[in-house]
Chains A and B, each alone.
Chain A
Amino acid sequence: MERSLMKGNEALAEAALRAGCKCFFGYPITPQTEISAYLAKKMAKAGGLFLQAESEVAAINMVLGASGTGTRVMTSSSSPGISLKSEGISYIAGSDLPCVIINVQRGGPGLGGIQPSQADYWQATKGLGHGDFHVIVYAPASVQEMVDMVINAFDKADEYRMPAMILADGLLGQMMEPVTFPEIKQKNSEKTWAADGHKNKRKHNIINSLYLQPDVLENSVVERYKRYDTIQENETDAENYLCEDADIVLCAFGATARVAKSAVNQAREKGIKAGLFRPKTLWPFPVNEINEAVKNAKTVLTVEMSMGQMIDDVKLAINCSKPVEFFGRTGGIIPTPTEILAEIEKLGGAK
């Protein structure tokens, strides 16, 4: 299959088209605008609808409407824009509707900056809106994974009738790498719940997130959490790099994992037994996988482009059975392999 060179944002947009995405609603914001620009050119030719909404709030509610008709739909933004969408995301989750949401993160809080960041980890995995709900969160670390994960995200969103998010960052969105587009098997997902016209042949479907009777609302949430249990059982994914004999296991996701891998390689050259654990799904967090990865380690070092957010999940997942240390840069600064290596050496990195 031919390898072509594409920006992460454009490759992701192309993959969404190939995955059968028929509607895109968005509002421009750096560093993800290439997704909108690409789909503005290509969506209509693919028989779909591209619409630049008047705001992020409008865009996410258009996603809700389109999803309700059973259409594969996507929206995309960067950190401040995702905050604006959060009310709508909660409504979509509460209505049991599938959709794909892209967050190409930039530095925050507030308007922050436009350089890469991972400081929306908590937001994506724990608080993407009000109420008891989750979205599936994928963390790509290469342009190829931007492609593979968005294709998978559409399938999983449909399968579990819930939003799925790609939590990328400005570095992955802007960089070009070789990429190939896999053959896509269109899954037959009949959407019997869709409000797409009953033609007097069936009872009409209702899409709603309002339940004024507490017991009915509780039931609907508990029902959803049963689905979440299945997801936690079946959908975790992670990469384990040289962890088997490692004294120190680094834990990093997304673009940071690439930098951390360089640091691990440099540490190995110096005779330090380092390894890298990289969650590919952030929710569900790969609990079993990380326990396996750190079982022989003395120390765990979490590396993030934030002040330390995933570190909470790392500690919870391993039940604080090892010391979990942290190194991070924030505000749009990308950590360097050299400074991560210094951290590994500082933590003993027993030879």
Chain B
Amino acid sequence: MTHEIILAGFGGQGVLFAGKVLSYAGLLDGKEVSWLPSYGPEMRGGTANCSVCVSDEPIGSPLILQPNVLLAMNTPSFDKFIDTVKAGGTAVVDSSMVDSTTDREDIKVFYVPATELASENDLNGMANIILLGKIIKETEMFTLDEIKAGLEKSIPPSKAALFDSNIKAIQIGMNS
């Protein structure tokens, strides 16, 4: 089984971090993983994205062109990637930030008002983690415990106090 995930949004929304959490969850689960960020001038205020592969097999190209999972946190990212999702794939979209929708019927699309949910629950800046919760629930990529382990590894010691909030965000996403 190979998951090929693109996570995209504005710089600062935490798409690279969300990708890192998935990668660590995969690593701790004994999978092969790779994480490749977009890098360059587009990251300044523009869109940022990363490609994450989680697989039972060694990973060839870490660059994903046709993801089976898409996390989109702004309209430009949604517009850029939604048509690249493989048939049968899953897209999880922050509908607080994305004003487009898709007509595609060959993929599952979940519109989650993650940014609003985050601010309602005093979890500002954690829309990315809420969406991650939705992804693991809909794709069954990881269990709650596995993603917890991934979070534990990804959160730097200086921000360890935010661990519980992150878990809460995951749970809100899973129940959305």
Chain A interface residues toward B at CB < 8 A:
3, 5, 30-31, 114-115, 170-171, 174-178, 258-259, 261-262, 265, 334, 336-337
Q: Which of B27, B32, B39, B60 contacts A174 (CB 8 A)?
A: B39
What residues on A are CB-neighbors of B35 within 8 Å? 5, 175-177
Q: Which of B24, B40, B62 contacts A171 (CB 8 A)?
A: B62
What residues on B are CB-neighbors of A114 within 8 Å? 39-40
Closest residue to B28 on the A side, CB-wise?
A: A3
* B11 interface hit (Cβ, 8 Å): no
Measured as residues with beta carbon below 8 angstroms from the partner, the interface class of chain B is 10 to 19
- The answer to whether A170 and B39 have CB atoms under 8 Å apart is yes
Closest residue to A143 on the B side, CB-wise?
A: B34
* B20 interface hit (Cβ, 8 Å): yes
Please list 8 pairs of residues, one from A and one from B, whose beta carbons are closer than 8 Å in the complex, sorted by A's number. A5-B33, A30-B39, A31-B39, A176-B20, A178-B27, A178-B33, A262-B60, A262-B61
Q: Rank and list the top 8 A-B pairs by shortest CB-CB distance, nearest first.
A: A262-B60, A176-B35, A259-B61, A175-B36, A258-B60, A261-B60, A178-B27, A175-B62
- The answer to whether A258 and B59 have CB atoms under 8 Å apart is yes
* B174 interface hit (Cβ, 8 Å): no
What residues on B are CB-neighbors of A31 within 8 Å? 39
What residues on B are CB-neighbors of A177 within 8 Å? 33-35, 59, 62
State the CA gap A261–B33 with chains docked (Å): 16
User: 10 additional contacts, CB 8 Å, given A177-B62, A334-B63?
Assistant: A30-B39, A115-B40, A175-B34, A177-B33, A258-B59, A258-B61, A259-B61, A261-B60, A262-B61, A337-B60
What residues on A are CB-neighbors of B33 within 8 Å? 5, 177-178
What residues on A are CB-neighbors of B24 within 8 Å? 5
Q: How far is the CB of A281 from chain B (nearest CB, A)?
A: 21
Closest residue to A115 on the B side, CB-wise?
A: B40
* B47 interface hit (Cβ, 8 Å): no
State the CA gap A174–B51 with chains docked (Å): 12
What residues on A are CB-neighbors of B153 within 8 Å? 5
What residues on A are CB-neighbors of B162 within 8 Å? none
What residues on B are CB-neighbors of A259 within 8 Å? 60-61, 63
Q: How far is the CB of A100 from chain B (nearest CB, A)?
A: 24
What residues on A are CB-neighbors of B62 within 8 Å? 171, 175, 177, 258
Closest residue to A173 on the B side, CB-wise?
A: B39
Q: How far is the CB of B12 from chain A (nearest CB, A)?
A: 19
What residues on A are CB-neighbors of B27 within 8 Å? 3, 5, 178
* B95 interface hit (Cβ, 8 Å): no
Closest residue to B38 on the A side, CB-wise?
A: A174
Encoded as 1 (CB less than 8 Å from any A CB) or 0, chain B from 46 to 74 comes to 00000000000001111101000000000
Q: Which of A115, A176, A334 contacts B34 (CB 8 A)?
A: A176
Q: How far is the CB of B104 from chain A (nearest CB, A)?
A: 21
State the CA gap A109–B111 with chains docked (Å): 45
Q: How far is the CB of A140 from chain B (nearest CB, A)?
A: 14
* B76 interface hit (Cβ, 8 Å): no
What residues on A are CB-neighbors of B128 within 8 Å? none
Closest residue to B57 on the A side, CB-wise?
A: A265
* B113 interface hit (Cβ, 8 Å): no
- The answer to whether B60 and A171 have CB atoms under 8 Å apart is no
State the CA gap A177–B24 with chains docked (Å): 10
- The answer to whether B23 and A171 have CB atoms under 8 Å apart is no
Closest residue to B58 on the A side, CB-wise?
A: A261
What residues on B are CB-neighbors of A337 within 8 Å? 60-61
Closest residue to B24 on the A side, CB-wise?
A: A5
- The answer to whether B39 and A5 have CB atoms under 8 Å apart is no
What residues on A are CB-neighbors of B39 within 8 Å? 30-31, 114, 170, 174
State the CA gap A44–B59 with chains docked (Å): 36
- The answer to whether B36 and A336 have CB atoms under 8 Å apart is no
What residues on A are CB-neighbors of B37 within 8 Å? 174-175
State the CA gap A5–B32 with chains docked (Å): 11
Most A CB contacts (10 A, CB to CB) among B23, B36, B60, B153 go to B60
What residues on B are CB-neighbors of A262 within 8 Å? 60-61
- The answer to whether A171 and B20 have CB atoms under 8 Å apart is no
Q: How far is the CB of A246 from chain B (nearest CB, A)?
A: 17
